[in-house]
Amino acid sequence: MSAGEDKAASKRERAIAQRRAQILEAALECFLENGYHQTGVRDIAKKAGVSLGNLYNHFPGKHDVLAEIAALERLELAPFLKILNRSTSAPKVLDKFLAAYAKYLADPDTVILTLEISGEAIRKPDIAAMFMDNREQLVAALTAVLERGIAEGDLRRLPDPRETAQLIIEVAEGCAYRCVLSNVSMRKAMKGLRDFVSSAVLAF
């Protein structure tokens, strides 16, 4: 392949990536505004400013758009995995993780999209697999923090650190949903979340 052909191919790839991103952004807006099942492929195409045929060139259907969004969720988890992989004391890592993760979860758009994806995951195994794979990475990293804290004597011995990690994440999610649905102060909710987790895992 000549230099000119290589440059043209690279330009086409960038254009394709930009168009896919444009369609995904439009789909996100539609799902947030109207819900997944109330959104049609034509709605996404219209919002993206592309023809229906052009959209189908990138995604076979609406389900494939949602699958791509679910896969991209992994990128959003990267900052939290980075926090959990820090080598500072387990209680400090846990506190920083809870603050950052709860703030992320409490964004209304995050709540809506999470509910849309998890609702569809119940019906579609491929969406469920991606959803659970993302969750597994978070649970595994948090479990490692708890096990390290136990070994170092900073955290109490837990019957099942992995189950505790699962519960901490679920409580954080529930806390964030309550903030959005009930208009509860994030500051107040975070204090309750930290107090709850501290009493559950800290060594006294």
Nearest to 94 by CA among 157, 147, 19, 15: 147
The upper half-sphere exposure of residue 75, i.e. CA atoms within 13 Å in the direction of its Cβ, equals 5
**Structural tokens at position 70:** 């679910």
Alpha-carbon torsion (89, 91, 96, 97), positive or negative:
positive
> Confidence class of residue 149 from pLDDT cuts 50, 70 and 90?
very high
Nearest to 81 by CA among 23, 158, 145, 31: 145
Q: What's residue 200's pLDDT?
A: 87
Per-residue model confidence as pLDDT tens digits over 128-142: 888 888 889 999 999
> Confidence class of residue 66 from pLDDT cuts 50, 70 and 90?
confident
Q: What's residue 60's pLDDT?
A: 92
CA distances from 145 to 162, 192, 196, 197 (A): 10, 21, 17, 14
> Confidence class of residue 16 from pLDDT cuts 50, 70 and 90?
confident
Q: Which residue segments constitute the domains of the chain, with CATH numbers given?
A: 1-59 (1.10.10.60), 66-201 (1.10.357.10)
The rounded distance, in Å, linking the Cα atoms of 82 and 85 is 5
The answer to whether the pTM exceeds 0.95 is no
Higher-pLDDT residue of 8 and 12 is 12
Average pLDDT, the chain: 87
Per-residue model confidence as pLDDT tens digits over 23-59: 999 999 998 888 888 999 999 999 999 999 999 999 9
Residue 189 and residue 102 in contact, taking contact as beta carbons nearer than 8 Å: yes
